Amino acid sequence: GNSVTQMEGPVTLSEEAFLTINCTYTATGYPSLFWYVQYPGEGLQLLLKATKADDKGSNKGFEATYRKETTSFHLEKGSVQVSDSAVYFCALSDTRYGGSQGNLIFGKGTKLSVKP
Amino acid sequence: EAQVTQNPRYLITVTGKKLTVTCSQNMNHEYMSWYRQDPGLGLRQIYYSMNVEVTDKGDVPEGYKVSRKEKRNFPLILESPSPNQTSLYFCASSFRGHGGDTQYFGPGTRLTVL
């Protein structure tokens, strides 16, 4: 079935360090891929997405490229800030019942802490 | 302001006492969904709705009910809550429920069942 595997945290970095959070997926068909971010005490909000192979999603200095050949969608940022401290979720749109549907399948989340 | 609202934000109850968590969106979205978030498990979908009067089970529907009588509202009903339903619940909505649609999440409801 469809599933998402992302690196376990927590991840602790110093300010201005380079960030990579790995995400790989298993899916039939052609899912859309997402990164959502959850700041402390808040709901999830979309960080970036990619809807087809080789697409690059980007937002707020974060980037991720949809790699169908490696079934990956790794999140990267060149220089993290304290304000980036949050939990990051990789997700894909469900394709179990044909097509690409709005139902999301999430990874378990990676907690990022950035120290000044 | 475009948003998804949930009430209550925090709830402590006892086993077997029926409760309803409300969800409302003001974006005229067709698709709405409920998730629960548990440590080490991420988010798992409980129920979803593609439009008014159209609902379907997600991955963990046992012990929950939903209804969609109006486009903007999608309440989650626990008829007889049990301690294993202690969790953080999120409502979400999107425009049409298509694979590439962005989902907008509410702030969450933290439920404790004693």
Q: Which of B103, B104, B109 to mutate to test the interface with A (most CBs of A within 10 A)?
A: B103
Nearest CB to A93 within list B33, B40, B100: B100
Q: Of A37-46, B49-58, B94-103, give the lowest mean pLDDT range.
A: B94-103
For residue range B11-21, list pLDDT tens digits in order: 999 999 999 99
Q: Which has the closest alpha carbon to A110: A14, A22, A43?
A: A22
Q: Which of A51, A101, A110 to mutate to test the interface with B (most CBs of B within 10 A)?
A: A101
Grade residue B98 by pLDDT with cuts at 50, 70 and 90.
confident
Grade residue B101 by pLDDT with cuts at 50, 70 and 90.
confident
What is the pLDDT at residue B1?
A: 85
Distance CA B18, CA B64 (A): 11
Average pLDDT of chain B, as a whole number? 94
Distance CA B83, CA B59 (A): 19
- Asked if pLDDT for residue B68 goes beyond 70, the answer is yes
Distance CA A76, CA B3 (A): 28
DSSP B98: B
Contact B43/A103, CB-based, under 8 Å? Answer: no
Contact between B100 and B80 (Cβ < 8 Å) = no
Residue with more model confidence, B23 or A104: B23
**Six token digits for residue A52:** 């087809």
What is the pLDDT at residue A99?
A: 59
pLDDT averages per 10-residue partition of chain A, 116 residues:
89 97 92 94 93 95 96 97 96 74 88 96
Under an 8 Å CB criterion, which residues of A touch B? Answer: 31-32, 34, 36, 42-46, 49, 51, 89, 93-95, 99-109
Distance from CA of B35 to the nearest CA of A (A): 10
Averaged pLDDT, B22-29: 96
